[in-house]
Amino acid sequence: MIQEPRELTALAGSWRGQGQKIALVPTMGSFHAGHLALMHQARQCADQVVVSLFVNPIQFGSGEDLAAYPRDLQRDMELAAGEGVDVLYAPTTSSMYPAGFQTTVRVAELGRGLCGASRPGHFDGVCTVVMKLFSQTQAHLAVFGEKDFQQLAVIRRMVRDLDLAVDIVAHPTVREASGLAMSSRNSYLQDDEREQALCLYRAILFARQKVKGATQPLSAEVLRREIEGNIGQVPGCAVEYVEIVDPDSLERCETVQVNSRLIMAVKIHDRVRLIDNARLFEL
């Protein structure tokens, strides 16, 4: 494990000097099967794999779960080693944001709506830390999960806009046997709440069935309202947003298109915030 940015950057420089390809998997730890799938993909794509483990304080807003976010460093180290990770990078907050730190990276429009509407500044924090990780690891590629689809779109936009020489590799959402998307925050759920949280996956199945059975272009707004209504009927579940969007611009679709994405955020008993998304036309 490495904690100091300069130590990692020096090691990455030596790897590059030897012509080796570096992959980065950015995480906040509390590893589950979804994280391990990202590591496995990175291992297949590169000579050296760096997994960052950093609960990034500047992407959490007031009243969010920064202090409670699950942490288990020893377990994470063991799981990363099992996936053949070369370096687990776990910097301290003070090494990432030393005294006087005042620089922010912002993707203005893509980070404004959806999760950005209820979490102002969240994606500024994400972009800032990811930019630092790109610099520290000198990565040739970085693997992100599709579960946080807005984050993926924002990072892709940042890379394009700033001409960064990093390939962004997307990995499909990894799900539990029930269909619930893997998330570190699933650990907050009680047994009955896990059943209620399936409203997200059931919404995906419902939407895909409606799309599959449509004989003419389907109104995205009509479908969106149906999904919102279905989720709203589940006890303990409150819709934060349900949207059907273009996967690149994240703008609302008027009709459901081949590449349209259903993207949702729900709160379970006003305590656990979960997100999910999926293509509506299955490949």
pLDDT beyond 90 at 269 = yes
The number of angstroms, rounded, from the C-alpha of 265 to the middle of its chain's C-alpha atoms is: 13
Instruction: Tell me how far apart the alpha carbons of residues 62 and 112 are, in angstroms, rounded to a whole number.
Output: 17
184-279 has the same fold as 5-171: no
Task: Note the pLDDT tens digit of each residue in 149-200.
Answer: 999 999 999 999 999 999 999 999 999 999 999 999 999 999 999 999 999 9
> Of 32, 35, 40, 171, which one is the catalytic site residue?
35
Amino acid at site 117: A
Domain positions in the chain are 5-171, 184-279
| pLDDT at residue number 63 | 84
Give the whole-number percent of the chain exceeding pLDDT 90. Answer: 94
Among the four given CATH numbers 3.40.50.300, 3.40.50.2000, 3.40.50.620, 3.30.420.40, the one describing domain 5-171 = 3.40.50.620
Closest to 153 (Cα-Cα) out of 145, 165, 162: 145
> What burial letters (b/e) apply to 147-158, b meaning 16+ CB within 10 Å?
bbbbbbbbbbbb
32 is catalytic: no
Give the other-Cβ count within 10 Å of 259's Cβ.
13
Residue 283 binned pLDDT confidence (cut-offs 50, 70, 90): low
Q: How far apart are CA 97 and CA 94, in angstroms?
A: 5
The helix/strand/coil state of 67 is coil
Query: Tell me: the pLDDT tens digits for 115-160?
Result: 999 999 999 999 999 999 999 999 999 999 999 999 999 999 999 9
Taking the domain 184-279, which CATH number applies? 3.30.1300.10
What is the per-residue pLDDT for 99? 96
Closest to 237 in 3D by CA, of 281, 278, 279, 189:
189
